[in-house]
Amino acid sequence: MTATDPSKNSLQLTADGQLRHFLTLDGLNRALLTEILDTADSFIEVGERSIKKVPLLRGRTVVNLFFESSTRTRSTFELAAKRLSADVLNLDINTSATSKGESLSDTLLNLEAMASDMFVVRHSQSGAPHFIAESVTPGVAIINAGDGRHAHPTQAMLDMLTIRQHKGGFEGLKVAIVGDVLHSRVARSQIRALNELGAAEVRVIAPATLLPRDVESLGCTVEYDMTRGMKDLDVVIMLRLQKERMEGALLPSEREFYRLYGLNQEKLALAHPECIVMHPGPINRGVEIESAVADGPQSVILNQVTNGIAIRMAVMSMAMGGQMAERSRKLAGRAQG
């Protein structure tokens, strides 16, 4: 799982190893993930100024293409692009051209013809952003804002930034991901990032019906009993119960799930006393987490949201920089040749 897939690598990276799309964490090494975190640290400082804007993407056009609804992710991407001085277009595709019968490729080609420089893509189909980067509009930087059950790399990286802020690093950390791993694209990206960054142990805690087959092959250990699983944890990441993705009887009942896998103060007390509590949002209070924990002193859930803007600024400026550097190298090559 940590093996480098060269095809994904060459799609996401320029010949010089700069980011030019951000589709998945697969194939990105520790040095590059650390560079993303370090760059985001600098953008956090920008967010604390009276003018929270830098001119990096001035004159560039960023299109938020959300084929699946989202409030937090879309608004933090929008704010990130605006703080980089880009022009931003928000398209909610559910209510747009595709409902009139236009194909995905046609929609994208039209947007490209409007001189768009970057698409931020959320799609219910795994691999959609990859497909767009590879086949539809290769000259536009593509940022994956969540695709199917596959990946949600900016969410995973903002979680890594939050962990690094509170724990100083990843060495020796024991981290658990609790809940609906089966439907979670976030969990996959988190497991990948934690392993690459050198966490000591990544544990998933869930009922067997909410775990993908061969989950260990992603690089984690499995624990079905939360009371045992909470022991010695430095970080606990709760996942949202994705009710809208549930098919068939994967759960006996929400109440039963909460009793076994919901995070309350008693269960949290079993972890390391300085264990931090994370959740990608939106929270289902009383379904996967107790309000006293979500709002308690160990919760860093709102830090995650703030960090989301900085991470997205980092990834967008790095990918746009890589695209433009590549373009100008090609132009220079043509001029010489």
Partner 1 sequence: MTALLEIDRLLDDLEAGLREKLEERGVTSPALIGIRTGGVWLADVMSKRLGLQEPWGELDISFYRDDFSRIGLNPKVKPSSLPFSTEDRDIILIDDVIMSGRTIRAAMNEIFDYGRPASIILATLVDLGARELPVQPDVTGRVLALQSHQRVKLRGPDPLHIELQETGH
Residue with tokens 């132009």: 331
Does the annotation place 30 within a ligand binding site?
no
Tell which residue, 112, 14, 108, has the closest CA to residue 321: 14
Q: Which of 6, 15, 55, 334 binds partner 1 (CB under 8 A)?
A: 55
| Minimum separation from the CB atom of position 42 to partner 1 (A) | 5
Task: Please tell me the distance from the alpha carbon of residue 90 to that of residue 84, in angstroms, as a whole number.
Answer: 16
Q: Is 240 annotated as a binding residue?
A: yes
Q: What does the alpha-carbon distance between residue 320 and residue 327 come to, in Å, rounded to a whole number?
A: 11
Question: Closest CB to partner 1 among 36 and 289?
Answer: 36
Sign of dihedral through CA atoms 238, 243, 244, 245? positive
Contacts of 33 (CB under 8 A, 6+ apart): 25, 157, 160, 193, 196, 197
The DSSP 8-state label assigned to residue 298 in this structure reads: T
35 near partner 1 (CB under 8 A):
yes
Distance between CA atoms of residues 319 and 325, nearest Å: 10
335 binds partner 1 (CB under 8 A): no
Cβ distance to partner 1 smaller for residue 84 or 215: 84
Under rule CB under 8 A, how many of the chain's residues touch partner 1?
23
Strand partners, 142: 119
- According to the annotation, is 169 in a ligand binding site? no
| Least distance from partner 1 to the Cβ atom of residue 94, Å | 33
Task: Give the separation between CA 282 and CA 91, rounded to whole angstroms.
Answer: 21
Q: Count Cα neighbours of 92 within 13 Å in the Cβ-side half-sphere.
A: 7
The answer to whether residue 51 forms part of the interface with partner 1 (CB under 8 A) is yes
- Span interacting with partner 1, options 35-43, 74-82, 184-192, 296-304, rule CB under 8 A: 35-43
6 marked as part of a ligand binding site: no
The whole-angstrom separation of Cα 117 and Cα 155 is: 22
Nearer to partner 1, 35 or 87 (CB): 35
Question: Contact 241/179 with Cβ under 8 angstroms?
Answer: yes
Q: How far is the CB of 50 from partner 1 (least distance, A)?
A: 6
Q: How far apart, in whole angstroms, are the C-alpha atoms of residue 131 and residue 330?
A: 23
What is the distance between the alpha carbons of residues 322 and 326, in angstroms, rounded to a whole number?
6
User: Least distance in Å: CB of 148 to partner 1?
Assistant: 30
Between 35 and 232, whose beta carbon lies closer to partner 1? 35
Yes or no: say if 268 and 277 are a contact pair by the CB < 8 Å rule.
yes
Is 308 assigned to a binding site? no
Between 292 and 332, name the residue whose CB sits nearer to partner 1.
Answer: 332
Element (H, E) at 248: none
Does 46 interact with partner 1 (rule: CB under 8 A)? yes
Which x/- pattern, by CB under 8 A, does the window 291-320 give for partner 1?
A: --------------------------xx--
**Smallest gap from residue 243 Cβ to partner 1 (A):** 40
73 is an annotated ligand-binding site residue:
yes
Q: Which residues bind partner 1 (CB under 8 A)?
A: 18, 35, 38-39, 41-42, 44-46, 49-51, 53-56, 317-318, 321-322, 324-325, 328
User: Which residue numbers belong to the known binding site for L-aspartate?
Assistant: 100, 185, 240
Annotated binding site for carbamoyl phosphate: 72-73, 122, 152, 155, 281-282
